[in-house]
Chain A
Amino acid sequence: MVLLTRKIEFSASHLYHNPNLSAEENRRIFGKCNNPHGHGHNYTLEVMVAGEPNPVTGMVLDLKELKEILEREVMRRMDHRHLNYEVPELAGQIPTCENIARVIWNLLEPRITQGKLHRVRLYESPDLFADCYRNGASGAGN
């Protein structure tokens, strides 16, 4: 099995706020991420696909195709958007790294038909990221 990784970057704004909590609780739990006007990040997304290289092309999947899937499913939805208000898949959820990675996994998994989606890693900053795997897949070897 071979693992291949494609990386893209997008910029988006968000804020953390749970309407079921009081203003004080929101501030205590989310700190400055609760700022009502939001803030933004340059996100880096790494998509890792696992598979056997096709004997004729030598490829696990055509990178052009993966690039188009990422453009359609992620860039058009999230790049230069406000994640709280403009991405229906995140509606009603706190747009943390964990939740965004999970939403991206669910968008990509059915679209990747050559090879298998192995890991989605979303960096909110170089020091904070979330990884998403199908349960049972190992985190080792990344």
Chain B
Amino acid sequence: MINNGLKIELGRRYRFAASHRLHSPRLSEDENYQVFGKCNNPHGHGHNYVLEVSFSGGIDPATGMIANLSDLDAFVQLRVLDEFDHSSLNEDVAAFRDKVPTTENLCMEIFRRLKTFPNAKLERIRIEETGKNGFEYAGGHAEEDSK
């Protein structure tokens, strides 16, 4: 490894399109509308999400890489994109059957799915729900990370 006292992270961006509805069964209809506004529309709506992942590790001198991109891409495809892209998050992703699919919760769910990547350490997830909203999660939420 040739990091020489530096911490080096590999960052990669992916895209997926999905629909969701923000609605909590713990709130009344009025309260749901008050809290979530138009995001509470019963039939849902969609976004083009941008998922940014950062992994740290040692640079392998033989390849110059922290992790081979084709391995990383295949892992993210399998663990996240296959299930999330062109899905209804509420209906198609089990984790959101009883959890509001906000981008905060999405970050934590995707972190949980990607932290087992064997070749490098997951440092951070960043998701842009739109060009104007970005969310980051770097682990540390005991309940999510222990699953």
Contact = CB atoms under 8 A, between A and B. Distances in A.
Contact of A98 (B4, B13, B65, B124): B65
19 contacts: A18-B62, A20-B62, A96-B59, A98-B8, A99-B59, A99-B64, A102-B4, A129-B10, A130-B9, A130-B11, A131-B8, A131-B11, A131-B54, A133-B6, A134-B7, A135-B5, A137-B7, A139-B9, A139-B54
Nearest to A33: B69
B6 A21 contact: no
Contacts of B61: 93
A94 B63 contact: yes
Q: What are the 8 closest A-B residue pairs judged by CB atoms, nearest first?
A: A94-B64, A96-B64, A127-B13, A131-B9, A129-B11, A133-B7, A99-B64, A135-B7
B77 interface: no
A130 B65 CA distance: 10
Contacts of B64: 16, 93-96, 98-99
A105 interface: yes
Interface of A: 16, 18, 20-21, 29-31, 93-99, 101-102, 105-106, 121, 126-137, 139-140
B70 interface: yes
B124 A134 contact: no
A9 to B, nearest CB: 17
Contacts of B108: none
A9 B12 CA distance: 19
B94 to A, nearest CB: 28
Contacts of A134: 5-7
Contacts, number: 87
A45 B4 CA distance: 21
B3 A102 contact: yes
Contacts of A30: 63
Contacts of A21: 62
Contacts of A96: 59, 63-65
A102 B6 contact: yes
Given A18-B62, A106-B4, A127-B13, 19 more contacts: A93-B2, A94-B63, A96-B59, A98-B64, A101-B8, A105-B6, A126-B13, A128-B13, A130-B10, A132-B8, A134-B5, A134-B6, A135-B3, A139-B7, A139-B56, A139-B123, A139-B124, A139-B138, A140-B138
Given A18-B62, A126-B13, A131-B54, A102 B68 contact: no
B81 interface: no
A128 B11 contact: yes
